[in-house]
Amino acid sequence: MNAIDLQYQQKTERLTDAFRIFNQLSENLASSYQGLQAQVARLTNELAAARSERITTLIEKEQLASRLQLILAALPAAVIILDANGVIIDCNNHALDFLGEPLMGLQWREVSQRSLQSAQHSPHEAQLSDGRQVSITRNLLSGNGEQLILLSDVSEVRNLQDAMARHQHLTAMGEMVAGLAHQVRTPLATAILYASHTVKPELDEVKRRQFSVKILERLHHLERQVNDMLIFARQGRLQMQPFRISALISCLEEAMEAHPGLLHIDNRCDDMELLANQDALRGALLNLLNNAVEAGASKVDLRLSADSRQLSLVVEDNGPGISSEEQSRIFEPFFTTKASGTGLGLAVVQSVIDAHHGRLSCESQPGQGTRFIMSLALEEPYRINLSASAANGTGEHRYETV
């Protein structure tokens, strides 16, 4: 084989190898293309399924959002949504009706100051400009700080409660008048009888003085009955005036002079001044003191103390005590264990303490005496800080909220 033939043979072999390699690459490309087509088909199917699922989800969400919008619009309450900065970002039509426009984009603080007035009986309620009462509820919506505020109209409920309270009060007043008729008539008849004797010329001076004392006792008894009736009838509507604790103590000591050695007073309030109804508080304390005397107590302790938030008055006696069954009812109007009692004494005490936004409790066990604890809030307008007037003698009162 010559050189030319050898070169030709080599070229032929290289071409054969090239064709073989080309055929292998073509087969590989065809296989890859088929695999790519299958993968594209699979991805297309998955994408179509995902798109269909997403469309279904979007439709469901739109339906849910539409349903929620209908529910939100139908709610008989104002719904306000705040962002983390307290700005109103959404509300329903009732919110516009309750609070007026504009609302969107405003600070809730500004809107509440503009359209809501604080309610006296509850910090969770407010009054609208048209007089309606609404309850206020706040809740966090999510972790991003958004809040939901719900304003519900409670005017009708409050009116019904007020009407029921007035009806109950009138009913109680009727029972009170019926119960007091005998209690007033008896001491009045006794006083008239003693008075008729005092005008007799033949009556000696000693008897005349005795009859005069008896008349005065009956008149004082009548005064207490009338005062109790008036305080109970007011139901918390008491006029508050400033007075010193020492004046209240002096009145109590004077009233209990007929029972020497009975009353022991421990005043730890110095001579602070209180903005309250002195007559009502004196009457309430005298009711407790007289109850202790009538129950047979030989000693009654009155302790007065105060801190930055409250004034505490404790009346404790060494009488026979009160059973647990009676304790559950002693503050009910017209409940009494006395044969000649009206059952208004402790109800009046409770009414007086309620009028001063205070608390009243009773601790007693049979045979171990009784303790009544009264706590009055020392907050404006129930406390007067007299540091300035005491220091400079100006007599000016400086009110301080604790």
pLDDT tens, 302-359? 999 988 788 999 999 999 998 888 887 887 766 666 655 556 678 888 888 888 888 9
Q: pLDDT for 195-226, tens place per residue?
A: 887 878 887 888 888 888 888 877 876 776 67
CA–CA separation, 385 and 222 (whole Å): 37
Look at 18 and 228; give whichever has higher pLDDT.
18
Which residue intervals of 243-344 are DSSP H helices?
A: 245-255, 278-294, 324-327
Q: Which two tokens stand for residue 227?
A: 């005062």
Confidence of residue 183 (pLDDT cuts 50, 70, 90): low
**Check whether domain 157-235 has CATH 1.10.287.130, yes or no:** yes
Q: Compute CA distances 343 → 60, 329, 338, whole Å.
A: 67, 10, 8
Checking if the pLDDT of 242 tops 80, the result is yes
Give the CATH H-level superfamily of domain 75-153.
PAS domain (3.30.450.20)
The CATH 3.30.565.10 domain(s) of the chain lie at 241-402
Question: Where along the chain do the CATH 1.10.287.130 domains lie?
Answer: 157-235
| Average model confidence (pLDDT) across the chain | 79
State the pLDDT at residue 126: 84
Is residue 289 packed enough to be buried (19+ CB in 10 Å), middle (13-18) or exposed (0-12)? buried
Any alpha helices (H) in 332-392, and if so which ranges? 345-355, 387-392
CA distance 377 to 338: 33
pLDDT-based confidence at 72, cuts 50/70/90? low
> Which residue from 81, 82, 84, 106 is spatially nearest to 92, judged by alpha carbons?
81
Domain topology for 241-402: Heat Shock Protein 90 (3.30.565)
DSSP single-letter state for residue 120: S
Q: What is the pLDDT of residues 81-114, one digit of tens each?
A: 888 888 988 888 888 888 888 888 899 888 888 8
Cα(362)–Cα(352) distance, rounded to whole angstroms? 15
H/E run at residue 376: strand 370-377
Looking at residue 374, its pLDDT comes to 93
The H or E element containing residue 11 is: helix 3-74
Chain region(s) in the chain for CATH 3.30.450.20: 75-153
pLDDT of res. 234: 59
Looking at residue 235, what is its pLDDT?
A: 56
**At residue 256, does pLDDT exceed 70?**
yes
Q: What's the first-to-final CA gap in the chain, in angstroms?
A: 124
Torsion on CA atoms 271, 277, 279, 284, rounded to nearest 10 = -90
Task: Provide the pLDDT for residue 341.
Answer: 58
pLDDT at 173: 67
Instruction: List Cβ neighbours of 380 (8 Å cut-off, separation of 6 or more).
Output: 399, 400, 401, 402
pTM of the model: 0.46
